[in-house]
Amino acid sequence: MAAELKPRATREAYGEALLELGKRHDNVVALDADLAGSTKSGQFAKAFPERFFNVGVAEANMMAMAAGFAIGGKVPYASTFAVFATGRAYDQVRQSIAQPRLPVRVCASHGGLTVGEDGCTHQSIEDIGLMRLLPNMKVVVPADFNQTYGAVLESYKTEGPMYIRTGRPKTPFLYPEPPATLGRGADVLREGSDISLLACGIMVVRALEAAEELKKRDISAEVVNVSIIKPIDVDTVAASLAKTGCAVTAEEHSIIGGLGDAVQEVAAEYCPVRIGRLGIKDVFGKSGTPDQLLEEFHLTTEHMVGLAEQVLASGK
């Protein structure tokens, strides 16, 4: 872990990387729906006002407009909160972006419960699932500031549509500097032999902590940061499952449709092993501080340790 760096939110990395892309490439345009300050697209807006389009509170219009920009040869980055980017504008993302396979980057901030006090209306717990369901859509959930920064820079060259989820809270650094590429999107951050902990987003740091805790209990946990949820790196995930023989997945998302399901699908086809899914158990969120919510919805290091022990106890 790059512990010496002060935690920073992944949405801030989006803002800085977008600004950098604007400097490097004239055909990058950005859109936002009255949340430029929160999603951090505002930095780009300030530097390149002629290439920034704030459509107002009109997410559906924004997504279809982004499709139009892509058809016109631009590389559009469209940002708003995850709940609105996916839920509110789902049909526009589906029909105008995903199906025609247009290079629109849907960059959604405020993923998950850690939105906090705004409550369930603003907490996106199903966005990864919604985006994963769309053919052609690449789904990326970076784990820290640097990985987000690298992912956004790399996205410029990516073909086809892409969904990038960032978060509101400050998050510890895991990568000492922005990686040049996400690669195939599954980084083994720690090797282990008894159980695999496959996590994404803010849960990766908790998976590393859980592995440390499990070590004290003589359990060797492997930690894999799965930053590309789709297309998932089948080889790395299956290899880890084969090596350890069981797993826990962890995500700030519903246990239905997200990373947990993606890993289960790999397991079912290539390496059937027991898997425990740590995630939101098919309920909506509520108001509270991010830490209180992570505790209440069982998304802490301790809960991950507990689930790992449970999975191990039930036999491989």
Residue with tokens 């740091």: 205
Sign, CA dihedral 299-301-302-304, equals positive
In the complex, residue closest to ligand TPP by CB: 34
Say whether residue 90 binds ligand TPP (CB under 6 A): no
Token duo for residue 15: 């803002």
Nearest residue (CB) to another protein, 42 versus 161: 42
Is residue 83 a contact residue for another protein (CB under 8 A)? yes
100, 245, 288, 306: which one binds another protein (CB under 8 A) = 288
Token output for 95: 């029909």
**Residue 196, beta-bridge partner list:** 222, 247
With CB under 5 to 8 Å by kind, the binding choice for 37 among ligand TPP, another protein, none is another protein
283 binds, among another protein, ligand TPP, none (CB under 5 to 8 A by kind): none
The candidate with the shortest Cα–Cα distance to 5, out of 151, 146, 168, is 146
Alpha helix locations (H) across the chain? 10-24, 36-39, 42-47, 59-71, 82, 90-92, 127-132, 145-155, 203-216, 234-244, 259-270, 290-296, 301-313
Among 1, 5, 122, 274, binds another protein (CB under 8 A): 122
DSSP string, 196-209: EEEE-TTHHHHHHH
The answer to whether residue 37 forms part of the interface with ligand TPP (CB under 6 A) is: no
Q: Which residue is listed with tokens 């809270």?
A: 169
Indicate which of another protein, ligand TPP, none lies near residue 38 (CB less than 5 to 8 Å, by partner kind): another protein
118 binds another protein (CB under 8 A): yes
**Taking CB under 8 A as the criterion, which residues in 15-44 touch another protein?**
32, 34-38, 42
Whether the bond between 172 and the residue before it is cis, its omega within 30 degrees of 0, is no
- Considering the complex, what minimum distance in angstroms separates the CB of residue 198 from another protein? 29
Q: Does 34 bind ligand TPP (CB under 6 A)?
A: yes
Say which residue the tokens 């609105």 belong to: 84
Residue 121 in contact with another protein, rule: CB under 8 A: yes
Candidates 57, 242, 268, 283: give the one binding ligand TPP (CB under 6 A).
57
- Interface with another protein by CB under 8 A: which residues? 32, 34-38, 42, 54-58, 60-61, 83-84, 87-88, 116-122, 286-289, 292-293, 296
- Interface with ligand TPP by CB under 6 A: which residues? 34-35, 57, 84, 88
